[in-house]
Structure 1
Amino acid sequence: MRSQLLLAILPFTQAIRIVQSNDDGWAEINIRTFFDTLSKAGHDVVLSGPAENQSGTSSSDAAPTTVDSDGCEFSSCPSGSPPTGANATNPRLNYVNSFPVTSIKTGIDTTGPKIWNGGKAELATTGPNVGSNIGIQVPFSGTVGAAVFAAHDRQIPAIAFSGKSGDPTAWDQPTPLYSKVYADLALNITSRIISSGTPYLPNDVWLNVNFPDVSSTKCSNTNQFQFILTRINTGVFSEKDTEWCGTDRLPTETSVSLKSGCYVSISVGDAADKTTVDAARQKEVLAKLQPILSCLP
């Protein structure tokens, strides 16, 4: 079933509290586009991202510090700014001058509850990252690190989104096509998980989602994409996966990324070690995602 079929149910998806972060920085256009898309869908969103690009920082965590002489990325805050801060006109857009894990932790523990009058985040999303996070890249990704922290340390269901296209781009530049497409696809997946009911994901589970290249001539419309259930690591010596598409071994993210076509890989990750979860929890997530999943040809 293709993603356009899911679009019909979006208006009926329950609006929830969502905390956002990434590792490319709070002012990068991908996360800002997704923030706008989630907000327009009716969700109560708080963005808490790093003040600077923190790609490749994995699960590092340190107390925020005063912003140095270079200021925040893309001149989004001046030098000497406090360790944490918010957009002058939108308090839901927040920076944390530290790592992605620290940023989402601040959003979950401090910023979100303040804006939500003591309410807690019901779902965490990270990205869409600029560049893929598949296979051996996963343990080193700050976007993944932030999602795993939410799922493992705060027991908040989390989804990490990454897209192959693009370069770091400021929030105030014209929105690239790939940012719009990735935000729409990410909303589709998020909405499917929410509409499946609570618990949105099994305990200690996060989703690792990777979008392929997008251009004006390739994969330019959400209707062209197919969602494929995958695994993170190769699994040569792993236990069997849940049965799907006639097999008990899911394709890897890497193998899907190498195929010609508009394929989105969705892996069910173990937040305890950033690898693929056991078949039982895969099966739980499969039941939630099945309406939008396809099998590889």
Structure 2
Amino acid sequence: MRYCSILATFAALHQIAQGLNILITNDDGFGSANTRELYKQMTALGHDCYVVAPATDQSDMGGRVDFTSSATLTTNSGWDIIKAGAPAIGNDPNDSHIFYYNGTPAAQVMVALDYVLPTFANFSTPDLVLTGPNFGWNLGPFMYTLSGTVGAAYAAVERGIPAIAFSSGNSDQTPYYWVNASTKAGLQDPATITARLAANLAQALIKNAAGSRVLPLGYGITVNMPYITSHTSNQCINPPFVLTRMTGDAVIEKAVYDPKTKVFSYSNINAGGANKCINGDCSLPSETDVMNTGCMSSVTFFTVDYDAPYRATCDNATDVTTIIPIVVQLNGTTPPPGSGPNTTVVGQPPSMPSTSSPPRVTAIASSGVVVEWSLSALLFGLGIAVFSL
């Protein structure tokens, strides 16, 4: 057994040394400066990376899966990199690891997993999916379903692959060929810094895993990074990462009717439903508050298990079972009194399998600072992790 354990340890270390197989996508387009810089950073760290991203801007698509019905591009791709009439899926002219496809962000993940990687890469299932960094923040539960960046991430998580969605406060969409080695302030381009921060966080999590899954099955992470000031100053170029929750002061949209133009637009409002803390740790700061505070980045864990708990919510104010009709059986499938033989009864198993506690892991920041935490503390918010990468 000891010999097998040693072999397993060496195998895990070998996997880390060789790097992971990583898929990178986004919703802004395959020519995005942020995404190309992340691809460069992760490749430089020794990982085998492929980009499969939209031919054109596909923002605000959420988890929608749209496949093009045309075998060719009907318009030029974003930033005119690929011209109309070219195949609807293809390579970047200068890099065989970068693909575009004319579909939504979630569709990119599926096309990558089911066609591009099995056909053109030396792997078919990546160890990790990275989305973004998006141009602009994606904050709160509303953006969880609206954002194409996050939608691509939870499409990967639903397929059983760990995923991290990155979003940036620098919201001007820029192509990769606008990235400068340095700015007027003598600093790196914001896209480069944003990508470096994202890569450092991803690499810390990869090191934590030590050859195992980067995240537990069914879990993903959404990260929001602040506006990087490197064009003009060093005021915000190395923000710390803070463990957060989605709910709390997040906004959603409302419809605003203009009687003059007879059309609708939107405005932002706070809504109780989007800010009700149910499953997460209500003691954690909200990602919205953290991002509005200053030069910090939020790190929020999510799952694609949308079920709310049956019992009292985390603030212990409400027992949901008090509002569930009698026809729904919570502990077995015994039909309620008066039900006929054709009655369908919704129930749950009388007992659930127990789960073991996740192991402790250690994150190593790029600055050399070691931050140790329990993975369960991260996943379920038993504290606030703040560390600078």
Task: Provide TM-score, normalisation by structure 1.
Answer: 0.83
Match of residue 291 from structure 1: 371
Distance in 1, matches of 2:228 and 2:358, equals 30
Rate the CA distance shift 1:13–1:231 in 2: closer, same or farther, 3 A: farther
Q: Deviations over 1:164-212 (max 9, x none)?
A: 1131112211347221111111111101111111221111111000001
Equivalent in 85, 91, 103 of residue 90 of structure 2: 85
3-state DSSP of counterpart to 2:242: strand
Q: Which amino acid aligns with 2:303?
A: D
The answer on whether the counterparts of 1:159 and 1:208 sit within 8 Å (CA) in structure 2 is: yes
Q: Which amino acid aligns with 1:99?
A: T
Q: Percent identity?
A: 27
Q: Which protein shows a greater Rg?
A: 2
**81-90 or 232-241: bigger deviation:** 232-241
Distance in 1, matches of 2:360 and 2:135, equals 27
What RMSD over aligned residues (CA atoms) do the two structures have, in Å? 2.8
Match of residue 17 from structure 1: 21
Shift of 1:232: 1.0
Shift of 1:273: 4.0
Match of residue 138 from structure 1: 144
Shift of 1:272: 3.5
1:164 is the counterpart of 2:244: no
Rate the CA distance shift 1:145–1:75 in 2: closer, same or farther, 3 A: same
Rate the CA distance shift 1:178–1:284 in 2: closer, same or farther, 3 A: farther
Q: Deviations over 1:12-38 (max 9, x none)?
A: 765100001100011111101111111
The answer on whether the counterparts of 2:25 and 2:51 sit within 8 Å (CA) in structure 1 is: yes
Match of residue 256 from structure 1: 290
Distance in 2, matches of 1:274 and 1:143, equals 22
**Number of residue pairs the alignment of both structures matches:** 271
In the TM superposition, 1:155-234 aligns within 5 A as: 155-175=160-180, 177-197=189-209, 198-216=212-230, 217-222=233-238, 225-234=239-248
- Gaps in structure 2 of 5+ consecutive residues: 1-15, 181-187, 249-274, 315-354, 364-369, 373-384
Rate the CA distance shift 1:284–1:269 in 2: closer, same or farther, 3 A: farther
The answer on whether the counterparts of 2:205 and 2:214 sit within 8 Å (CA) in structure 1 is: yes
Distance in 2, matches of 1:76 and 1:177, equals 21
The answer on whether the counterparts of 1:178 and 1:215 sit within 8 Å (CA) in structure 2 is: yes
Rate the CA distance shift 1:179–1:229 in 2: closer, same or farther, 3 A: same
Match of residue 7 from structure 1: none
More helix by share: 1
Distance in 2, matches of 1:171 and 1:112, equals 23
